[in-house]
Amino acid sequence: MKRLHIYVIKSFLGPFFMTFFIVLFVLLMQFLWKYVDDLVGKGLDFKVLGEMMFYASFALLPFAFPLAMLLASIMTFGSLGENYELVAMKASGISLSRIMRPLVVIAILVTLTAFYFANNVLPQTNLKFSTLLYSVKKQRPELVLQSGVFTNEMDGYSIKVGSKNNESKMLYDLLIYDHTGGKSNESVTVADSGFLKITEDKRYMVLNLFHGENYVEQKPNNRKKKDNHAYQRNRFDEQTIRVKVRNFEFNRRDESIFRNQYRMLNIKDLSLMEDTLHSDYYTRLRNYMLQINVTPTVTKRMFNLTVQHDSLKRKDQVVGADSIFNFDEHFAGIDKWVKAEIVGTALENARSIVQNISMYQGQLYIKKKTLNKYKMERHKKFTLSFAVLIFFFIGAPLGAIIRKGGLGMPVVVSILLFILYYVVSISGEKTAREDVWAMVNGMWFSSYIFLPVGIWLSYKAATDASVMATETYTKFFSKLGLHKLFSKKKTEK
């Protein structure tokens, strides 16, 4: 048995590591497409880009572990089934559960590893990645001049280029508006050609202009002649514009600005933040209820709904139905003008209450949504790690049933299953975030569905049930009487 277990482990580890790095690479390419607009044109060093890719790869590990486990398990048992090795093992009296036993241990170890990364490593890498990405976004891009388009990257200048030579970097038909004096278009420069470069320290932009003219409007000496403006024209063969620019050098921001966000905390810190936000939310809720102008009895009952009652504290007596004031009988005996005054006052109070509730509801919704984000992140660390174990019990029996190895059929099945899992998981998370379902049910909704599927597939594979055979489904439809419909269609044709 030891040799058999070692053989199964060796057959599994190769596809697992191969698929793990392939999945990580594909997810990393998706990350590049997502943030390509923030990285292009910033003149970043390869060291900074490499560091950002390194931190981003850790953020993708929670998705890479389950998908790699699913794909590797299907490939391993599919290859064993395709080569009739599973048939030989079962013919020797070895059950599928005993064949899967060493890989179950590996799946548990991978699950624990995924949880360790999600709880201890991922918060630190998310903090460094978010800080680095924020620093990159705040850095100003290098000046890229496009033909026929005004560019405002130079502080105080607006430049338009007619055409440019990409080989010699020469610019032609330049039109420059000078706004350094805080005014609109009082100084305009036109040049036949020019050359732009940025100093090595990226502190200055130097623009050399050739064969052009400069037009400057003169302030009128007489205030009565505001409509008449004189201008000064200067011709030049060569002119240099040197502008000091800021934020072209790369500066790392302080990590403390993102330290308390939900993606940068472990389970212990998330629990502490949840307690703080939970207490703040219900404190605001109680204060809002006290500010709503309702009857004292209703206000007190609404306030008590948000307070954790003490078992030793005397409960308030509820007013009986017989002792309630009969308003209709009293209101019928009042004069009409008094009724109109009471109704007007009631409508005014009702409108004021509705307006206050609408304002408070929006503020409370934002607070509750923030609280739910921290709760969701805490559950995610468990659900994504547990998904590794679920996908193993789906992939291993499914590979034994399909009996196809390689990267063909396993890749297609794995992608379809993972997309389905992702859609169900996102749906559950949305219901939990919007408080449609309880947080536990929403975050574990995908596990509720896929874990029974894995158990059912394991049972079918262990009992050698022909799940993928067409005869199984034709017999099932024949029991329901649906085979007559298909037979009629064939006869009609």
Considering the domain boundaries, does residue 489 fall inside one? no
Geometric angle at alpha carbon 383, from 380 and 385, rounded to 5°: 100
Band (pLDDT 50/70/90 cuts) for residue 130 is: confident
Which pLDDT score, from 0 to 100, does residue 313 have? 45
Which pLDDT score, from 0 to 100, does residue 310 have? 45
- Tell me: do 70 and 176 sit in the same domain: no
Residue 309 pLDDT > 50, yes or no?
no
Considering the domain boundaries, does residue 314 fall inside one? no
Total number of domains in the chain: 3
Residue 142 pLDDT > 60, yes or no?
no
- Tell me: do 109 and 30 sit in the same domain: yes
Q: What is the DSSP string of 405-416?
A: -TTSHHHHHHHH
pTM over 0.75: no
Residue 363 pLDDT > 50, yes or no?
yes
- Tell me: do 367 and 387 sit in the same domain: no
Torsion on CA atoms 174, 180, 181, 185, rounded to nearest 10: 30
Mean pLDDT along residues 146-164: 77
φ/ψ of 240, rounded to 5, equals -120, 130
CATH code of residue 199: 2.30.30
Domain limits at 43? 2-139+383-483
Which pLDDT score, from 0 to 100, does residue 391 have? 92
Considering the domain boundaries, does residue 221 fall inside one? yes
Considering the domain boundaries, does residue 259 fall inside one? no
Strand order in the sheet with 187-198: 150-151, 157-165, 170-178, 187-198, 204-217, 231-244
Asked if residues 378 and 271 have their Cβ atoms less than 8 Å apart, the reply is yes
Considering the domain boundaries, does residue 252 fall inside one? no
Which class for 424: exposed (0-12), middle (13-18), buried (19 or more C-beta within 10 A)? middle
- Tell me: do 412 and 367 sit in the same domain: no
Considering the domain boundaries, does residue 319 fall inside one? no
CB atoms within 10 A of CB 383: 20
Which pLDDT score, from 0 to 100, does residue 473 have? 46
Which of the listed ranges 50-54, 59-63, 314-318, 384-388 does the model predict with the highest average pLDDT? Answer: 384-388
Q: What percent of the chain has pLDDT over 70?
A: 75
- Tell me: do 448 and 467 sit in the same domain: yes
- Tell me: do 426 and 469 sit in the same domain: yes
- Tell me: do 129 and 22 sit in the same domain: yes
Torsion on CA atoms 350, 354, 359, 362, rounded to nearest 10: 160
CA atoms of 443 and 384, how far apart (whole Å): 10
- Tell me: do 45 and 166 sit in the same domain: no
Considering the domain boundaries, does residue 257 fall inside one? no
- Tell me: do 10 and 132 sit in the same domain: yes
- Tell me: do 18 and 117 sit in the same domain: yes
Which pLDDT score, from 0 to 100, does residue 202 have? 66
| CB-facing half-sphere around the CA of 303: CA atoms within 13 A | 16
Helix segments in 234-319, DSSP class H: 267-291, 296-304
pLDDT in tens, 193-245: 988 877 776 677 788 889 888 888 766 666 555 556 666 788 888 888 887 76
- Tell me: do 111 and 180 sit in the same domain: no
Considering the domain boundaries, does residue 288 fall inside one? yes
Which pLDDT score, from 0 to 100, does residue 311 have? 42
- Tell me: do 416 and 369 sit in the same domain: no
